[in-house]
Structure 1
Amino acid sequence: MHTAHTIMAKIAKLRIHIAPVGYEVDRIILPAKQERADKVWLLVHENKSNDKAVPFITKIIKQLEKLQIETVQESHDRQDLFKIIRAIKNIIEQEKGNEIYVNLASGSKIQAIGTMMACMMFNDDSNIHPFYVEAQHYPGFDTKQPLSTGIKEIVDVPPYSIKIPDQKLISALQIISEHSGKLTKKEMATLAENKEIITINAKEKNHSMARFASLDKNIIQPLEEWGFIVVEKIGRNRWIKITEEGSNAAEFLL
């Protein structure tokens, strides 16, 4: 028999914390404890042999275990802005339906920028809450000791939205990326129709013309406006080429 309590337990949202790991311990542990986190995702550098933060990861996990808070590690390149954004996006997708709290104070400056950008891009369900932790003491820099101890205040940061392309355009960008960033317009039209990114409502004899028109209006022109592609005529063919900006966007959108 299902009681009201068990039903509520099933539908209750978990409180998820995301924290890049640098040279901080208390700024990760204490907010998780104070805000009663159910799980903490630790963003760790993918190259552990070149990561001076490894001892801090061990300390954080041990302290969270004592608090009976689940920990999960997500590897990324902490020096690459786009890979930082992608790592946050991956976690947000996996924790869909839960309340997600993103720590902007526990890692490097580029991680803080990347995590904040991710919060602004992927907060579709209004369940993402970035916050900044003001430390109590700064004893001085020592790679064997945390940069700070204690916390003075946890400050909520409003996640203003950054617009990203709609899913059809992201799917189209993926097609172009999977073809080494370059394919003919004819190839793109066929693939876009097969993947139902565009729809054609025309008689068979007008099908090809209608397909190109739909591709131009719904895919090509918007991607050009975003600056993600350029179209060049080479011989008889028109080639769609991904731009540097498009390649950068693909790093975290796909």
Structure 2
Amino acid sequence: MALNTGLEKIVHIIPLGYEIDRAVVPFQDQIPGRVYLLAVINNPDLDQNMVAQQQHFVNQVKARLNKTTEVITINTNMFELQDVIKTISGIIRKEQEQGNRISVNMSACGRLTSVGAVVAAMAYDVSLYYVMAQDYARTEEEINLHGLSICPTPNVKRIVNFAFVQPDEIGKQILVSLYKKGKSMRPIDIFEVLKDLSVQGYGVLYPEVEGKKKRELQIRQLMKLDKTFLTRLERDKLITREKHGRNVFVTLTESGRYMACLSGLLE
């Protein structure tokens, strides 16, 4: 876990499409300590001319940022909403652990990516803003100079956040484990996750116990898993449970996949 140094940094996260002004104009008034640029800069499955164009905008934005600003470029699949949410959430979680002040720019990218930026920013209650365009580029020269939008002066609209109801940390860890597994898990598989997390009541698992105490411990661990964790996740439609014979299988729903991405725990 990253340590809080006590020295707050101003951090901006910018999912970047074919924009320049919308990415850099807000910094006329305030120089950030760190900027994350999320963009498609390496993807063999996409049109390479498009990837090369995107690299141009990344280079232009980096060139116009203050030399004292640390710039971190992250290759991100901007056409996959879960990947956008996962990447932004991971950055926010890490920066919050360091005690930094985070802002997310939702206006320098395409519509789908913007949705991911909004979801992640609101889930973590960080500053979210939209840079208003004052004109739009009409020629290739203008696009290369400004990006698709022309913003000679900062006209920044702050977006009001609303609360997201998320699982507790243990619930998030269960969702992340299901996401990483890529298939259904049995309760005993989830017990192993809880043991690794040092969750109370799972320090010793029932298969490790002999005799009558084994059955007693199994019942206690199953009941706690059900009432404390799985029932809540199922109620929120993040998982489903299905019984096959004597086995119960826990499966991540599509909503659960998004919540796992939102956890900030996925690389």
Length-normalised TM-score, structure 1: 0.83
Shift of 1:179: 3.8
Shift of 1:107: 1.0
CA contact 2:132–2:156 (8 Å) conserved in 1: yes
Q: What amino acid is the match of 1:236?
A: R
Shift of 1:188: 3.0
Aligned residue for 2:13? 18
Q: What amino acid is the match of 2:60?
A: K
CA contact 1:198–1:218 (8 Å) conserved in 2: no
Structure 2 counterpart SS, 1:232: strand
More strand by share: 1
Shift of 1:178: 4.1
CA contact 2:191–2:202 (8 Å) conserved in 1: no
Q: How does 1:49-198 map to 2 (within 5 A)?
A: 49=48, 50-51=50-51, 52-65=53-66, 67-96=67-96, 97-123=99-125, 128-140=126-138, 142=140, 144=144, 146-149=147-150, 150-189=152-191, 191-193=193-195, 195-197=197-199
CA contact 2:233–2:239 (8 Å) conserved in 1: yes
Tell me, yes or no, if structure 1 residue 241 matches structure 2 residue 237: no
CA contact 1:16–1:98 (8 Å) conserved in 2: yes
- Distance change in 2, residues 1:11/1:78 (3 Å): same
CA contact 1:133–1:151 (8 Å) conserved in 2: no
Structure 1, 175-184 or 21-30: larger mean CA deviation: 175-184
Shift of 1:117: 0.7
Which residues of structure 2 form unaligned runs of 5+? Answer: 204-211
> 2-side partners of 1:14 and 1:190: how far apart?
38
Q: What's the C-alpha RMSD, in Å, of the aligned pairs?
A: 2.6
Which residues of structure 1 form unaligned runs of 5+? Answer: 1-9
Shift of 1:23: 1.6
Shift of 1:54: 1.3
Aligned-residue sequence identity (percent) comes to: 24
> 1-side partners of 2:194 and 2:70: how far apart?
42
Q: What amino acid is the match of 1:139?
A: A
